[in-house]
Amino acid sequence: MAAPQPVLVLPEARPAETLAARYSHVRRVSLGICEPLETEDYVVQSMPDASPAKWHLAHTSWFFEQFLLKPLLPGYRAFHPDFEYLFNSYYQTVGRMHERPQRGLLTRPTVAEVVRYREHVDEHMQKLLRARSDDETMLAVVTLGLNHEQQHQELMFTDIMHLFSRNPLLPAYKAGAEESAESAAPMHFISFDGGIREIGASGKHFCFDNELPRHRTLVEPYALADRLATNGEYLEFIRDGGYRRPEFWLSDGWSTVQREGWTHPIYWAESLDREFTLHGLQPLNIGAPVSHISFYEADAFARWAGARLPSEAEWEIAAESLPVIGNLLNTGALHPTAAGVQPGMKQMFGDVWEWTSSPYTAYPGYQPPPGALGEYNGKFMCNQLVLRGGSCVTPADHIRASYRNFFYADARWQFMGARLARNL
């Protein structure tokens, strides 16, 4: 049976002084991500799934204003009466919202006004943290808001990258040296025992509600590749007719390939020797992990390789005893890098989110929190797949073994890749 779950899943509270400093740090990181941008870059929306940088800056401030300042700070006055509508994302219980595909039409408010909005929210959040330093529930919601902002920090990178990739000039977000086309060490498979195992967060430290409750699950003996699949290996799949051979594809995946005309990962050049990155157009590094592929592509590649994608339980069991170390945002690489030669499981954290074969559904015994915050995760548990492990633009203090990311099967503008698995 699943462990009993709290009615309201909230993160662990921290001392007010520590949390106030963390609040300031996380908020500065969001602005820092935007430093290389020109004003015009803040506004444009390159596709319905992406959002302008300006919208991300405003929405993350809206979260604190909506769920903390308005209900908890006496005498607080909203910065602008229309912002509740403009910068709500999907919280239906809060009220109406500006449609997501039309966020790029918001030339007003200006970038400068959004920055003032952030300053207004930050000033009053510091007042709230001082005034209610002993309110553990309030401190917990602040921690949730900071983790929410870190999610948007990753989205800012990937949305900016997609935007720049659609510009004929192919501008670089940040200049970087060309990578050498290094080879990866041979792939090895590491075996794991089957049996009844526990997965999910313990609930003792911060986690999102979709990581709970910790529960038992049955896994059969299996093996995982000791590193991520590489560009070079994926190039072999392409050259072997991978995008032309329906036997490797799920039905929906094959239909998508035909409809969209896919022949390679989204950011690869037609010549298959270069790819667009946050550093601009770069030579394809054959030893680096293949990135920006959909679930359909990852699954087809795995079938071609005589393997499969792991379940999320298999992935978590392999990762739970490992330190959270890898090519995450703190390295500054902003791009997947080749695995090292150290023994054991490599690249479990960072580089690319790893597609699993698991549908994004509730764990046994899961209940969403009451109120608007219950819309954070629970209502998306349908028709999406779970990814694990974080990416090269995931904040290092944001990821953990139990973290469950989720996207639709055809999504590929995120840093998404594949690790192979096999039955034993």
Q: Read out DSSP for 373-390?
A: GGGSSGGG-SS-EEEES-
Q: Is the pLDDT of residue 177 over 90?
A: no
Cβ density class 146-162: b for 16+ within 10 Å, e for less? bbbbbbbbbbbbbbbbb
Q: In this predicted structure, what is the pLDDT of residue 12?
A: 44
Residue 380: pLDDT over 70: yes
Q: What's the confidence (pLDDT) of residue 258?
A: 98
- Residue 22's pLDDT is 95
Give mean pLDDT, residues 337-346. 94
89 pLDDT exceeds 70? yes
Kindly indicate the confidence band of residue 183, based on its pLDDT and cuts at 50, 70 and 90: confident
Give the pLDDT confidence score for residue 67 in this predicted structure. Answer: 96
- Whether 33 contacts 56, CB under 8 Å: no
What is the spatial distance between Cα 37 and Cα 188, in angstroms, rounded to a whole number?
42
Residue 15 pLDDT grade (very low, low, confident, very high; cuts 50, 70, 90): low
Secondary structure in 3-state letters for 243-259:
HHCHHHCCHHHHHHHHH
According to DSSP, the residues that pair with 215 across neighbouring strands are 199
Distances (CA, A) of 144 to 51, 70, 138, 355, 403: 21, 17, 10, 25, 14
% of residues, the chain, pLDDT over 90: 88
| Per-residue pLDDT tens digits for 246-281 | 999 999 999 999 999 999 999 999 999 999 999 999
> By the 8 A CB rule, do 414 and 393 touch?
no
Q: CB of 310 within 8 A of CB of 224?
A: yes
Radius of gyration of the CA atoms of the chain, in A: 22
State residue 139's pLDDT score.
Answer: 93
pLDDT for the residue numbered 17: 62
Taking each helix axis from N to C terminus, what angle separates 136-165 and 111-131, rounded to the nearest 10 degrees?
160
Encode pLDDT of 131-162 as tens digits: 998 899 999 999 999 999 999 999 999 999 99
Indicate the domain borders of the chain: 16-165, 189-423
List C-alpha distances in Å: 379 to 157, 182, 374. Answer: 25, 43, 8
What does the H/E/C string look like for 95-113?
CCCCCHHHHHHCCCCCHHH
Q: What pLDDT was estimated at residue 13?
A: 43
Q: Looking at the predicted structure, is the pLDDT value of residue 9 above 70? A: no
Placement of tokens 């999102």 in the chain: 208
* pLDDT higher than 60, residue 4: no
- Render pLDDT for 109-133 as a digit per residue (tens, 0 to 9): 999 999 999 999 999 999 999 999 8
Q: Give the mean pLDDT of 326-352.
A: 96
Answer yes or no: is pLDDT of 326 > 70.
Answer: yes
Strands laid side by side in the 385-388 sheet: 405-407, 385-388, 353-359, 416-417
What rounded mean pLDDT belongs to the chain? Answer: 94
How far separated are the first and last CA of the chain, in Å rounded?
27
Q: What is the pLDDT of residues 365-376, one digit of tens each?
A: 999 988 888 888
What single DSSP character describes residue 372?
A: G
Q: Does the pLDDT at position 181 exceed 90?
A: no
CATH of 189-423, one of 3.30.1510.10, 3.30.70.100, 3.30.450.40, 3.90.1580.10: 3.90.1580.10
Lowest mean pLDDT among 181-185, 351-355, 406-410: 181-185
pLDDT of the residue at 180 = 63
The arithmetic mean of pLDDT across residues 26-47, rounded, is 97
Work out the pLDDT band at 185, boundaries 50, 70, 90. confident
Q: What percent of the chain has pLDDT over 70?
A: 95
CA 331/CA 360 separation, integer angstroms: 30
The per-residue pLDDT for 10 is 42
The b/e string for 91-109 (b: 16+ C-beta within 10 A; e otherwise) is beebeeebeeeebbebeeb
Q: Which amino acid type is present at position 389?
A: G
Residue 182 pLDDT exceeds 90? no
Alpha carbons 390 and 395: distance in angstroms, whole number: 9
CA distances from 47 to 91, 101, 300 (A): 21, 7, 25
392 contact partners, CB below 8 Å, separation of at least 6: 327, 328, 329, 331, 333, 334, 335, 336, 337, 350, 351, 352, 415
pLDDT of residue 369: 87
Residue 188: pLDDT over 80:
yes
> How do strand 353-359 and strand 416-417 relate by DSSP bridges?
parallel
pLDDT at 48 over 90: yes
Tokens at 45, concatenated: 């929306």
Picking from 353, 257, 265, the residue whose alpha carbon sits closest to that of residue 309 is 353
**What is the pLDDT, as a whole number, of residue 293?**
98
